[in-house]
């Protein structure tokens, strides 16, 4: 169920020490993301992607560290923000990818691992 890249091959997400989740958007959707965001983000997809990958590269690696990517469709993110009555800003982008990971991986509310999820976004 869990897709990990742990060096030791572990697949039990509850045992993870830290879980990094990266915001990913298709190049073809990036202009729409820029248009929808309520805060300034880089106008260039290459700048956005480069800054994200720099942050991703700075994360720690090793045993019991899990890395995930959440592919974001800007219109779905905007709908999620609208339903939650919140602006589409940096905090919302981080909260969204964390919520999507929790939903996708079936992470239950009582699992302590929820507190170990660190979203990476601009």
Residue 77 has pLDDT above 90, yes or no: yes
* 3-class secondary-structure state, position 59: coil
Residue 10 has pLDDT above 60, yes or no: no
What pLDDT, on a 0 to 100 scale, did the predictor assign at position 100?
A: 96
This prediction's pTM: 0.84
Give the contacts of 35 (CB within 8 A, at least 6 positions apart): none
List pLDDT tens digits, range 22-76.
999 999 999 999 999 999 999 999 999 999 999 888 887 776 677 899 999 999 9
Name residue, tokens 């709908």. Answer: 79
Please compute the mean of the pLDDT values over residues 91-109 and round it to a whole number. 94
* 82 confidence band (pLDDT: 50, 70, 90): very high
- Quick check: 60 and 93 in contact, CB under 8 A? no
Report how far residue 42's alpha carbon sits from residue 49's, in angstroms, rounded to the nearest whole number.
9
List pLDDT tens digits, range 103-118.
999 999 888 888 999 9
8-22, 56-70, 92-106: which has the minimum mean pLDDT? Answer: 8-22
Cross-strand partners of 119: 21
Q: How many other C-beta atoms can be found within 10 angstroms of the C-beta atom of residue 94?
A: 18
């Amino acid at each position: 169920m869990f897709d990990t890249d742990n060096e030791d091959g572990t697949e039990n997400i509850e045992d993870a020490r830290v879980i990094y989740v990266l915001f990913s958007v298709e190049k073809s959707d990036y202009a729409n993301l820029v248009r929808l965001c309520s805060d300034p983000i880089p106008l260039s997809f290459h700048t956005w992607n480069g800054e994200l990958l720099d942050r991703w590269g700075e994360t720690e690696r090793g045993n019991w560290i899990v890395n995930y990517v959440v592919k974001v469709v800007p219109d779905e993110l905007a709908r999620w923000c609208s339903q939650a009555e919140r602006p589409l800003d940096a905090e919302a982008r981080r909260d969204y990818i964390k919520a999507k990971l929790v939903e996708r991986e079936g992470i239950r509310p009582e699992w302590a691992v929820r507190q170990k999820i660190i979203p990476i976004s601009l």
